[in-house]
Amino acid sequence: MKILQRSKQASYGWVAGLVIGLAWSVVGVAAPPGPETAAEIERALGVPDNAQPGLRLRGAPDPGSPGVGKLRGPAGIVSDPTTSRTAEPLEMLDYPTLIQDRPKVAALIHFDPNSARIRSDAYKLLNEYVSALKSAALADAVLVIAGHTDAAGSEEHNLSLSQQRAQAVRDYLVERGIAPNRLSAKGYGEAYPVASNATEAGRELNRRSEFIRVDGSTTARP
């Protein structure tokens, strides 16, 4: 099944590339997501009334489903209304349910190949998140850090790797003063791509970390 899926991706890779290019053009961006600033992060996670179009999850639910799979460029930012809440433990939620109607930020955080070791060139970006989460606007924000991979390697390996990387991002933020009960880490492997895995550009977009604001649902867990 996985081989068949990859064959289809290769066959339609150029179409997916065109769709991705158009999606970025909609928001006036000529390149993939770049480093965010603390101010952008504060706006995206703190003011849930300015959602803009962006990339959708490939194979996601109906496009009309609120908040599902939207990722905003250039910083990969989206702000969605936060009217829907659940008392179910966060770790029990499937990904589309977790992100529905919640503000979220997507970031391309670089790791060493096949590793959860954060590369030094990602520190500047992560420090922007530290600053944003220490701001008055986000002082009470509770977040799930969702890790995603591309489709290289086995599904089992990618699921484990995504969890380790999400945990590494959480650890980095906690070490720099963000309260641990505000952050939870969850890996989703290759299951929720936003681009084709047939191209390196698409795979890079899929290797992402997302910060999903969930206060009102439950207390974050490690």
pLDDT per residue over 30-87, tens digit each?
223 544 799 888 888 885 443 333 344 554 444 444 333 444 333 443 333 333 444 4
CA dihedral 63, 9, 75, 111 (to 10 degrees): 130
User: Would you say residue 33 lies in a domain?
Assistant: yes
CATH number at residue 54: 3.30.1330.60
Determine the pLDDT at residue 88.
55
Q: Tell me the average pLDDT of the chain.
A: 72
Helices (H) and strands (E) counted in the chain, each on its own, are 7, 5
Amino acid identity of 159?
L
3-class state of residue 89 by DSSP: coil
User: Would you say residue 38 lies in a domain?
Assistant: yes
Task: Say how far apart CA 27 and CA 184 lie, in whole Å.
Answer: 30
Determine the pLDDT at residue 89.
64
User: Would you say residue 221 lies in a domain?
Assistant: no
Backbone dihedral angles phi then psi of residue 205, each to the nearest 5 degrees: -65, -35
User: Would you say residue 17 lies in a domain?
Assistant: yes
pLDDT per residue over 86-108, tens digit each?
445 666 678 888 888 888 888 88
Query: Into how many domains does the chain fold?
Result: 1
Q: What percent of the chain is predicted at pLDDT more than 90?
A: 42
Determine the pLDDT at residue 57.
52
Q: Which domain holds residue 168?
A: 2-213
Task: Say how far apart CA 28 and CA 74 lie, in whole Å.
Answer: 8
pLDDT at 1 over 70: no
Average pLDDT over residues 5-13: 45
Determine the pLDDT at residue 100.
81
User: Would you say residue 218 lies in a domain?
Assistant: no
User: Would you say residue 181 lies in a domain?
Assistant: yes
User: Would you say residue 222 lies in a domain?
Assistant: no
